[in-house]
Amino acid sequence: EQALINLCLEEKAAGRKVLAYSTYSGTRDTTSRLKTLLTQAGLKVAVLRASVSPEQREDWVAEQVDRG
C-alpha cells in the first residue's frame, strides 16, 4: 500500500496521472481501502466499479480525467 501511495505521489509531482488496477479477492473490497489511503495522502481518487459496462469504461475514465 505504501509503495502505491509513494508511486502515485511521485507521478502527481511529475504532472502525470495514475491508473491502478486491483483485483477483487472474493473476500475483501481492496478498492475502498486503497481509495481511503490515497485520499488521505492528498490525492484525488475515483473507483471504477464492475457495474460500469465494458463499453462505457473508456468514457468513464475520460470523464474522471476531465473532472480532475
Q: What is the full per-residue pLDDT of the chain (68 aa) written as tens digits? A: 999 999 999 999 999 999 998 887 778 888 889 999 999 999 999 998 888 898 999 999 999 999 88
Per-residue pLDDT at 27:
82
Residue 18 C-alpha cell reads as 495514475
Number of domains comprising the chain: 1
Residues spanned by the domain of 57: 2-67
What local confidence, expressed as pLDDT, does residue 60 receive? 92
Q: Cell match 475502498: residue?
A: 32
Whole-number pLDDT of residue 25: 77
Task: Output the pLDDT for position 23.
Answer: 82
